Amino acid sequence: MLSCPRCGQPIEQTDCYCRRCGKALQPGRGFLFSHTGIILLALVLGPFALPLVWISKIISPLAKWIYTILLLAVGIYFVVVCYHLYLSIQDAASLMLGGGF
Q: Rule CB under 5 A: which residues touch Zn ion? A: 4, 6-7, 9, 18, 20-21, 23
Residue placing its CB nearer to Zn ion in the complex, 7 or 96: 7
Burial status of residue 31 (CB atoms within 10 A of its CB: 0-12, 13-18, 19 or more): exposed
Residues 6+ apart with CB under 8 A from 25: 4, 5, 11, 15, 16, 17, 18
What does the alpha-carbon distance between residue 89 and residue 35 come to, in Å, rounded to a whole number? 38
Least distance between Zn ion and beta carbon 19 (Å):
8
Residue placing its CB nearer to Zn ion in the complex, 2 or 93: 2
Least distance between Zn ion and beta carbon 29 (Å):
16
Least distance between Zn ion and beta carbon 24 (Å):
10
Residues 6+ apart with CB under 8 A from 86: none
Residue placing its CB nearer to Zn ion in the complex, 19 or 84: 19
